[in-house]
């Protein structure tokens, strides 16, 4: 990756992988000299990668080291004579990147590709040579992390390189693991670069690499990258945070004492657990300081409790909440509902008798490994796969570890051929730091960024067919397409039958995913006339009045009285009805369950017995709720006429969030046909409900 280097001792506080295991810091200059001299014996591992071998065996005791020896020899010989800008032999860079991954527990194939990750880009080694010597897996990963030629792409080289790596990551997440470790070592050794170049690299790291590390769950790399970027882009805040941590180091830290109390509680409860104090990294301290103002001693770290089984996590939680005062608002269960980046833990906070509040994280040791190393901890995603001799070697490989957000990214990047659009949208997509899962009506699931709307769900499920989406039901209730979805919602998307339907311009105000925004924008650009039509101002209600039919078919037990059917409930045969005498000697007829009946009785209106005539014709008012689309009024009117029903009057209200309400007063030749009429109206595309007024 053509690393730029400086003093390898820079930012020593940002070397958690060495500090955690208690190893002495590795002298890259000494390793560089060893690399130049070469191994003393061709039968054993070169001294220069002894630290890599030691770290690798700690996670994989039975690993075959011979392939690492061969990879190192090829990397060392091909990079021989190349120097980093700091003056160090270039081989120190792939060695350092490989050591980072070995510390995280990466398997042998990843380490082999890591040693070779710059050979194709910066030396005469070809992909065919890598494939012949180390196999297809290593060749695929090395190709995935190799930059595109700047001479071919010019200013678009960086976006296109990331596009290439992301597509490769979709097939094998180990590609991005190496890229993240590569960027970490380059960030550690960035000091010899000009300040403006340091800032440019740090911004790309902040906007793209750190979100990718978060999404892939590689917290050990993400936290150190955050601190290194923080130091470059915000030097004043970094120095003030450094001073704050240094001042705390000279004070009494309450966390070790709280950890001892937790150990005693768990020991008494018979729960085997390891209790550690985990200091916060610089960015975390800075965030807490901004949130809480003045920090107390317990704010500079958290307590980590590691147990053997999932059930033990909840046992620990019960003991903590019994023996300490829990801060209820701080409790989060990421075991029952893991984060989208594989993270699982219980988070809580407890108050001690001394008044300190300590945050506590409870997880199993396996959860801890995944929390630190993320996808790196998953090892080779193909190790348990059954080889298929008939598989096409050129076919895209399906990675079982591919998360939903990555699948979405791979889908929309195909619709963004312009590098600038891809780069801008990629940063916006990665800025979404939380994901939700919604259930489809057919039983499938959709992974969406937090804040996604029904519009995003439509394009995630149906692609370009979502142009014809006219509405959605969320958890069984009809809602507008602009409605935001929550984790666990069930969404049913309603598509128009009219193939010419298209999205409205205001959909862009509610679309959060790049796939939806790109698809909507492309359709609007291709249909400028239709796009203008969707943004026209709302019109006044449209009313249509037809010839009025005969009088009411209700009869009152009051001679010569005028009978009127109440408009509030529009009773029709064979509804149970009640009549009341009103001003002018008229009798109004209501359904017995109408709210107006109680009001009539409350004000002392005279009750009059009413019954239906023998004739079956009736007048009724119906409300049709629908999603707006062209020709909807004509289709509804045609459906009504097909049932042999006369339209007395019709009113169409202006659309609100794409929804339209139609009010029809209808004269039916037979009241028994009312259910069939309402069904016919509901069957009109775009109509989602028909009810009596």
SS (H, E, C) 11-55: CHHHCHHHHHHCCCCCCHHHHHHHHHHCCCCCCCCCHHHHHHHHH
CA dist list (Å): 387 to 7, 63, 130, 208, 393: 46, 21, 22, 34, 12
Contact between 457 and 438 under an 8 Å Cβ cutoff? The reply is yes
Q: How far apart are CA 393 and CA 154, in angstroms?
A: 31
For residue 116, which of 127, 102, 105, 107 has the smallest C-alpha distance? 127
Q: How far apart are CA 337 and CA 579, in angstroms?
A: 58
CB-count burial class (<10 Å; 0-12, 13-18, 19+) for 134? buried
pLDDT of residue 360: 96
For residue 662, which of 671, 649, 679, 673 has the smallest C-alpha distance? 649
pLDDT of residue 269: 93
Q: How far apart are CA 571 and CA 568, in angstroms?
A: 9
Q: Which residue of the set 47, 54, 121, 158 is catalytic?
A: 121
Contact between 399 and 451 under an 8 Å Cβ cutoff? The reply is no
Name the stretches of the chain with pLDDT < 50: 1-45, 384-401, 533-540, 542-551
Q: How far apart are CA 452 and CA 397, in angstroms?
A: 29
Count of Cβ atoms closer than 10 Å to residue 562 Cβ: 14
Q: How far apart are CA 146 and CA 137, in angstroms?
A: 15
pLDDT of residue 531: 54
* Length reported for the chain: 693
pLDDT of residue 417: 66
Contact between 282 and 241 under an 8 Å Cβ cutoff? The reply is yes
| Most distant CA pair in the chain, distance | 122
DSSP 207: I
CA dist list (Å): 135 to 109, 125, 141, 391, 401: 10, 15, 11, 16, 21
Is residue 121 annotated as part of the catalytic site, yes or no? yes
Q: How far apart are CA 289 and CA 179, in angstroms?
A: 32
CB-count burial class (<10 Å; 0-12, 13-18, 19+) for 583? exposed
Peptide bond into 574 cis (omega under 30): yes
Is residue 239 annotated as part of the catalytic site, yes or no? no
Q: Which residue of the set 4, 122, 182, 214 is catalytic?
A: 122
pLDDT of residue 415: 67
pLDDT of residue 665: 84
DSSP 90: T
Q: How far apart are CA 27 and CA 50, in angstroms?
A: 12
Q: How far apart are CA 412 and CA 343, in angstroms?
A: 26
Instruction: Please count the helices (runs of H) and the strands (runs of E) in the chain.
Output: 28, 22
DSSP 205: I
CB-count burial class (<10 Å; 0-12, 13-18, 19+) for 592? exposed
For residue 610, which of 644, 632, 586, 633 has the smallest C-alpha distance? 586
Sorted by sequence, the CB contacts under 8 Å of residue 16 that are 6+ apart come out as 220, 223, 224, 281
Task: Compute the chain's Rg from CA coordinates.
Answer: 35
Count of Cβ atoms closer than 10 Å to residue 444 Cβ: 9
């Amino acid at each position: 990756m053509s690393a730029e280097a400086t003093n390898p001792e820079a930012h020593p506080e940002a070397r958690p992988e060495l500090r955690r295991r208690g190893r002495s810091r590795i002298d890259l200059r000494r390793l560089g000299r060893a690399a130049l001299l070469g191994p003393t014996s061709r039968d054993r591992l070169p001294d220069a990668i002894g630290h890599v071998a030691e770290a690798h065996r700690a996670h994989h005791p039975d690993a075959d080291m011979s392939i690492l020896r061969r990879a190192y020899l090829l990397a060392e010989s091909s990079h021989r004579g190349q120097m980093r800008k700091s003056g160090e032999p270039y081989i120190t860079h792939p060695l350092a990147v490989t050591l980072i991954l070995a510390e995280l527990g990466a398997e042998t194939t990843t380490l082999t590709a890591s040693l070779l990750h710059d050979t194709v880009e910066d030396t005469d080694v070809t992909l065919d040579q890598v494939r012949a010597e180390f196999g297809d897996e290593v060749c695929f990963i090395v190709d995935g992390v190799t930059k595109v030629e700047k001479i071919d792409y010019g200013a678009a080289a960086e976006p296109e390189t990331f596009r290439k790596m992301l597509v490769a990551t979709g097939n094998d997440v180990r590609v991005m693991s190496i890229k993240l470790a590569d960027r970490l070592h380059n960030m550690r050794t960035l000091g010899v670069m000009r300040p403006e170049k340091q800032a440019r690299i740090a911004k790309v790291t902040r906007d793209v690499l750190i979100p990718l590390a978060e999404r892939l769950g590689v917290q050990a790399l993400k936290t150190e990258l955050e601190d290194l970027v923080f130091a470059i882009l915000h030097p004043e805040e970094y120095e003030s945070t450094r001073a704050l941590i240094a001042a705390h180091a000279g004070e009494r830290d309450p966390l070790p004492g709280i950890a001892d109390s937790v150990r005693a509680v768990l020991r008494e409860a018979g729960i085997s657990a390891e209790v550690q104090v985990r200091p916060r990294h610089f960015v975390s301290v800075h965030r807490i300081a901004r949130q809480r103002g003045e920090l107390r001693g317990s704010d500079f770290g958290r307590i980590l409790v590691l147990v053997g089984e999932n059930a033990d996590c909840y046992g620990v939680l019960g003991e903590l909440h019994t023996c300490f005062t829990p801060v209820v608002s701080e409790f989060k269960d990421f075991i029952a509902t893991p984060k989208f980046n594989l993270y699982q833990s219980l988070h809580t906070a407890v108050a001690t008798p001394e008044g300190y509040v300590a945050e506590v994280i409870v997880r199993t040791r396996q959860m801890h490994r995944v929390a630190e190393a993320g996808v790196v901890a998953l090892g080779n995603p193909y190790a348990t796969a059954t080889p298929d001799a008939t598989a096409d070697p050129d076919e895209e490989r399906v990675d079982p570890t591919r998360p939903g957000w990555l699948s979405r990214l791979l889908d929309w990047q195909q619709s963004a051929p312009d590098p600038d659009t891809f780069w801008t949208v990629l940063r916006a997509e990665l800025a979404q730091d939380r994901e939700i899962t919604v259930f489809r009506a057919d039983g499938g699931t959709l992974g969406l960024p937090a804040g996604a709307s029904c519009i995003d769900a439509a394009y995630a499920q149906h692609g370009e067919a979502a142009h014809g989406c006219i509405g959605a039901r969320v958890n069984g209730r009809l809602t507008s397409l602009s409605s935001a979805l929550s984790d666990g919602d069930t969404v049913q998307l309603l598509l128009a039958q009219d193939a010419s339907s298209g999205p409205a311009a205001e959909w862009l105000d509610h679309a959060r995913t790049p796939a939806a925004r790109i698809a909507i924008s492309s359709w609007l650009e291709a249909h400028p006339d239709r796009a203008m039509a969707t943004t026209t101002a709302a019109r006044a209600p449209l009313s249509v009045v037809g010839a009025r039919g005969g009088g009411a078919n209700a009869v009152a037990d009051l001679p010569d009285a005028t009978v009127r059917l109440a408009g509030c409930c529009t009773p029709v045969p064979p509804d149970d009805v009640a009549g009341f005498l009103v001003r002018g000697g008229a009798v109004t007829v209501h359904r017995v369950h109408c709210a107006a009946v109680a009001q009539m009785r409350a004000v002392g209106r005279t009750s009059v017995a009413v019954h239906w005539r023998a004739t079956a014709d009736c007048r009724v008012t119906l409300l049709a709720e629908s999603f707006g689309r062209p020709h909807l009024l004509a289709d509804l009117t045609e459906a009504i006429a097909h049932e042999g029903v006369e339209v007395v009057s019709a009113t169409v209200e202006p659309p609100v969030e794409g929804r339209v309400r139609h009010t029809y007063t209808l004269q039916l030749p037979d009241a028994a046909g009312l259910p069939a009429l309402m069904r016919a109206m509901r069957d009109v595309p775009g109509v989602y409900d028909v009810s009596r007024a």
